[in-house]
Structure 1
Amino acid sequence: MYQLRGVTKQYRRDKATVDALVDVDLTIGDGDRLVIQGPTGGGKSTLLQMLGGLDRPTSGSIELDGVDLAKLPEARLTTFRAESIGFVFQSFNLIPTLNAQENVETALVPLRLKAAERRERAAQALESVGLGERLGHLPSEMSGGQQQRVAIARALVKNPKVLLADEPTGNLDESMRDEIMDVLETLWKEHGLTFVMVTHDSSIARRAPRIATIRKGRITLTENSKAV
């Protein structure tokens, strides 16, 4: 479970101080699915980065299962992130010279698994997102939707507790958007993940049981009884 208390994040811009997040309190339970919305520059991606240990707050605490990510030494934070948190981004961030299976294997390298186990787990992860027959294909040989599936497989191959997604359908057309969301929602249920996603797309947000709206660094939570 995530427990955020008094999380504030400030940046320096020229001579001014910008508040990206202001005194945020938030609880995200195990297996929860939360969508984060709000205007550009309102703090959405900043919050997601904090949840993923990619950035640290100026003040406040961010606990995941009792571990304060804000206070972990960098080496321990890197290991914790590699073991517990999967990331999916708008830009697929695939390595163009590696095939699908090799791209997925990269997430397992920090875990120091043997090569044979990495290959097997990567193949299984790709099978789970419908790409079992595309293991040897390069990113340039796949559609945008297929590349995002590879990115999802890479995020989930290490069996994380948490999946964080930043505009995962932002580069996809409407039909592919719905397809990717179906994949993400199915995997969320099957793996019992804690799933937090940033999106500008209101049609996607309406599918989630909880919506966090951030404006000027402050958060408002809404329960969605009509979630899919």
Structure 2
Amino acid sequence: MYQLSGVTKRYRRGKDTVRALDGVDLIIEDGGRLVIQGPTGGGKSTLLQMLGGLDRPSEGRVLLDGTDLATLPEARLTRVRAEKIGFVFQGFNLVPTLTAQENVETALAPLGLRAAERRERAAEALVSVGLGERRGHVPGELSGGQQQRVAVARALVKRPAVLLADEPTGNLDESTRDEIMDLLEGLWEENGLTFVMVTHDTALARRAPRIATIRQGRVTIKERVVG
């Protein structure tokens, strides 16, 4: 479970100080699903980075299962990210010279697994996203939707408790967008993940049971009944 209390993030912009987050209090239960929305520059990605331990708050606490990500030494924080948190980004972030299989295996490198186990788990992850027959292809030989599926497999291959997605369909057409969202929602349900996604797409946001809207660094929560 995530528990955020008083999370503030300040940046220097020239002579000015900008508050990307301003005293955010937020609880995300295990297995919960939350969409983050708001205007450009409103703090959406900053909040996701706090949840993923990719940035630290200027003030406040970011607890994941009772561990404060804001104060962990960098080595321990890296380990938490490697073991507990999977990331999916808008730009796929695949290594262009590696095959789909090899790209997925890179997520397992920090865990110290044997090569045979890395290969087996990566192959299984690619099957789970419908790309078992394309594991030998490099990103340039795959469509945008297929590349994002590889990115999803890479995020899930380490069997994380949390999946964080930053505009995961932003580079995709409408049909492929819906395919990727169906995939992510299915994997969320099957694996009991805590799933948090940033999106500007209102149609996708309406599919979530809980929406956090950020404006000027402040968060408001709306609960929805999803039928």
Q: TM-score, normalised by structure 2?
A: 1.00
Task: Report the counterpart of residue 7 of structure 2 in structure 1.
Answer: 7
Q: For 1:117 and 1:158, how far apart are their aligned partners in 2? A: 11
- How many residues align? The count is 227
Task: Report the counterpart of residue 101 of structure 1 in structure 2.
Answer: 101
Residues 129-183 of structure 1, C-alpha deviations (whole Å, 9 max, x = no match): 0001001000000000000000000000000000000000000000000000000
Matches within 5 A, 1:5-154: 5-154=5-154
Deviation at 1:221, TM superposition (A): 0.1
RMSD: 0.4
Q: For 2:147 and 2:224, how far apart are their aligned partners in 1? A: 31
Tell me, what secondary structure is at the counterpart of 1:92?
coil
Q: For 1:11 and 1:224, how far apart are their aligned partners in 2? A: 33
Q: For 2:82 and 2:158, how far apart are their aligned partners in 1? A: 8
Unaligned runs of 5+ in 1: none
For residue 95 of structure 1, what is the amino acid of its counterpart? V
Tell me, what secondary structure is at the counterpart of 1:133?
helix
For residue 28 of structure 2, what is the amino acid of its counterpart? I
Deviation at 1:119, TM superposition (A): 0.2
Q: For 1:80 and 1:209, how far apart are their aligned partners in 2? A: 27
Task: Report the counterpart of residue 216 of structure 1 in structure 2.
Answer: 216
For residue 72 of structure 1, what is the amino acid of its counterpart? L
Tell me, what secondary structure is at the counterpart of 2:132?
coil
Deviation at 1:205, TM superposition (A): 0.1
Task: Report the counterpart of residue 156 of structure 2 in structure 1.
Answer: 156
For residue 123 of structure 1, what is the amino acid of its counterpart? A
For residue 216 of structure 1, what is the amino acid of its counterpart? Q
Deviation at 1:224, TM superposition (A): 1.0
Q: For 1:164 and 1:49, how far apart are their aligned partners in 2? A: 9
Unaligned runs of 5+ in 2: none
Residues 170-203 of structure 1, C-alpha deviations (whole Å, 9 max, x = no match): 0000000000000000000000000000000000
Q: For 1:102 and 1:193, how far apart are their aligned partners in 2? A: 24
Q: For 2:75 and 2:109, how far apart are their aligned partners in 1? A: 15
Q: For 1:48 and 1:80, how far apart are their aligned partners in 2? A: 15
Tell me, what secondary structure is at the counterpart of 1:160?
coil
Q: For 2:108 and 2:224, how far apart are their aligned partners in 1? A: 36
Residues 23-78 of structure 1, C-alpha deviations (whole Å, 9 max, x = no match): 00000000000000000000000000000000000000000000000000001000
1:174 and 2:174 correspond: yes
Tell me, what secondary structure is at the counterpart of 1:50?
helix
Matches within 5 A, 1:188-199: 188-199=188-199
Q: TM-score, normalised by structure 1?
A: 0.99
For residue 61 of structure 1, what is the amino acid of its counterpart? R
Tell me, what secondary structure is at the counterpart of 2:126?
helix
Q: For 2:206 and 2:223, how far apart are their aligned partners in 1? A: 10
Tell me, what secondary structure is at the counterpart of 1:124?
helix
